[in-house]
């Protein structure tokens, strides 16, 4: 059995579909499908057409995990995508329980049974830093989301000398792709720009900020299918390429190439049809909590064993919105 937490969410559901595609169907999907004010639609639709052996609510899963009711000998890998990823969430108690304590519980279960454990971290751990190598001096989160993820990364780092099985944290950069329509404001700019373009013929993006010109803010946009493959690689689940054994690492998961928001708009207009770009004032509620530039340093990822190329922005947009 493969456990995928956050399995109905954006990245988790894509993982489930990709696991199905290469023949894996004995999957336990864990998620929370309760209504939430930050969501713009139901997550369960992301699992339409997916095959899995069982589903468990996150609260029930944590209870049975604590009670020792899950047979670790039957778990082949754990792909931990479950988290609160709302960067505007200010409830620190909730965020730390959901992103830190929950992750610790699952980590120790994996360590006890020597189960490969691959989990989602985030580039938000770097905050306003302009250097993205995985070292403490670059780690300056701007919000409780990034902080909660960094605290868990550091917890894993402290345990590494004692770990005998695979534990890999993947710091996701700006992820985009199919199955993110439920994410509301937290969806990628690809999703928001597409909606604007189709409804009004206009793509609206921020005026110059953070030392960048209008629409020139740069992000490392990474296609969700690439992240699914990286997860499966380190968990040893790929049919054509077995992952390395007993890897302990916290590494970046991004393309290593920053692209402008203008480039995103151009890629989308090449798929959906031409439109125009308008620039809007930078939102006040994002001041001091916005990353104007991200670009993954992928040296750590390559040293950990993953050497496959990443999907180019233009190709990823075409995969996300097939014609």
Q: Name the E strands within 38-189.
A: 54-57, 77-80, 117-122, 167-172, 174-176
Distance in angstroms (rounded) separating the CA atoms of residues 55 and 37: 23
**74 catalytic per annotation:** no
Which of the following is catalytic: 119, 126, 176, 183? 183
Which of the following is catalytic: 119, 126, 145, 306? 145
**223 catalytic per annotation:** no
Minimal CA–CA distance to 139: which of 297, 255, 282, 303? 297
Q: What is the C-alpha R_g of the chain?
A: 19
Nearest-5° angle of CA 133, CA 129, CA 284?
145
Query: If you search the block for the tokens 């894996």, which residue do you land on?
Result: 24
* Angstrom distances, CA of residue 195 to CA of 44, 188, 202, 312, 322: 21, 11, 10, 22, 15
Q: Which two tokens stand for residue 199?
A: 């409804």
Q: Which two tokens stand for residue 163?
A: 């770990």
Run of H or E residues at 283: none
DSSP state of 100: I
197 contacts 147 by C-beta, under 8 angstroms: no
Minimal CA–CA distance to 115: which of 76, 152, 82? 76
Positions marked active-site: 145, 183
């Amino acid at each position: 059995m493969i456990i995928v937490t956050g399995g109905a969410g954006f990245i988790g559901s894509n993982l489930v579909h990709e696991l199905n595609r290469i023949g894996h169907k004995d999957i336990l999907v864990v998620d929370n499908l309760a209504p939430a004010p930050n969501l713009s639609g139901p997550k369960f639709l992301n699992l339409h057409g997916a095959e899995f052996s069982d589903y468990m609510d996150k609260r029930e899963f944590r209870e049975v995990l604590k009670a020792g009711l899950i047979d670790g000998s039957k778990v082949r890998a754990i792909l931990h995508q479950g988290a609160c990823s709302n960067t505007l969430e200010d409830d620190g108690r909730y965020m730390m329980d959901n992103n830190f304590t929950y992750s610790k519980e699952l980590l120790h279960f994996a360590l006890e049974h020597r189960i490969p454990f691959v989990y989602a971290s985030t580039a938000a751990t770097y905050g306003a830093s302009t250097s993205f190598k995985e070292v403490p001096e670059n780690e300056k989160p701007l919000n409780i989301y990034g902080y909660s993820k960094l605290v868990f990364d550091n917890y894993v780092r402290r345990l590494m000398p004692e770990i005998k099985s695979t534990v890999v944290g993947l710091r996701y950069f700006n992820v985009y792709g199919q199955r993110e329509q439920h994410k509301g404001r937290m969806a990628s700019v690809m999703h928001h720009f597409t909606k604007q373009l189709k409804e009004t013929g206009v793509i609206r993006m921020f005026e110059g900020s953070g030392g960048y010109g209008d629409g020139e803010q740069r992000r490392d946009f990474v296609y969700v299918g690439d992240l699914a493959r990286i997860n499966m690689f380190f968990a040893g689940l790929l049919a054509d390429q077995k992952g390395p054994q007993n890897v302990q690492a916290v590494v970046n998961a991004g393309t290593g190439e920053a692209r402008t928001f203008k480039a995103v708009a151009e890629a989308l207009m090449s798929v959906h049809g031409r439109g125009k770009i308008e620039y809007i004032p930078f939102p006040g509620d994002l001041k001091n909590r916005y990353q104007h530039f991200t670009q993954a340093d992928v040296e750590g990822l390559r040293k950990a064993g993953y050497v496959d190329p990443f999907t180019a922005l233009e190709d990823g947009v075409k995969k996300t919105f097939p014609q």
